[in-house]
Amino acid sequence: MSDYFVKIVPKDPFCKLSEQGLKRAEESLKSKLSCDSITAECYDTPQFIDCGSDLERITCPECGADLDFGWWQEAMDHAYESHFMSLEAEMPCCRKMVSLNNLEYYFPCAFACCEIIVLNLNSGADDAENDITDSVQKILGTDIRIIRAHI
């Protein structure tokens, strides 16, 4: 059976959260959710928080064109040279400068310096997931995004 990850990350890819804040959010989630485990991770520089095998398509947020995975991989390699501290890339379609964080990923992906990982959230708990968004945002004091991945 594959594992299902729900990753809670700040909307801002460069946002760094205090360990106490993350710990508080983790404890709060543990009291509300039924799942295998909840862990918080922090990184020095933004990491690509992916949706695993669910990534099917990436489009340009400026003109809506489909982006070639080969082009995207190259843009990712280039951005990685700066450890993702610079995410801007020129779109091959419309030549606009766009952050790799703002591309339209199907399913959603993001860049983040910290994440709270919920492993194998019980199915049918999607409502709970929506409910927690507000409370986690309040605890962390920042807007969050939720990335789901099947590995």
Distance CA 113, CA 27 (A): 20
Q: Using CB under 5 A, which of 27, 45, 63, 131 touches Zn ion?
A: 63
CB of 59 to Zn ion, least distance (A): 8
Distance CA 105, CA 61 (A): 10
When asked if residue 12 is in the footprint of Zn ion (CB under 5 A), the reply is no
Question: Up-side HSE of residue 147: CA atoms within 13 Å toward CB?
Answer: 28
Place of tokens 């991770």: 41
When asked if residue 89 is in the footprint of Zn ion (CB under 5 A), the reply is no
Distance CA 122, CA 46 (A): 29
Distance CA 125, CA 135 (A): 16
When asked if residue 60 is in the footprint of Zn ion (CB under 5 A), the reply is yes
When asked if residue 62 is in the footprint of Zn ion (CB under 5 A), the reply is yes
CB of 60 to Zn ion, least distance (A): 3
CB of 95 to Zn ion, least distance (A): 8
When asked if residue 91 is in the footprint of Zn ion (CB under 5 A), the reply is yes
- Tokens of residue 53, six digits: 């095998």
Cβ proximity to Zn ion, 28 vs 59, nearer residue: 59
* Total of chain residues touching Zn ion, rule CB under 5 A: 7
Binding range to Zn ion, per CB under 5 A, among 53-61, 67-75, 102-110, 127-135: 53-61
Distance CA 57, CA 55 (A): 6
Please check whether residue 121 is in contact with residue 35, taking contact to mean a CB–CB distance below 8 angstroms.
Answer: yes
Q: Which of residues 92-151 bind Zn ion (CB under 5 A)?
A: 93-94
Residues that bind Zn ion (CB under 5 A): 60, 62-63, 65, 91, 93-94
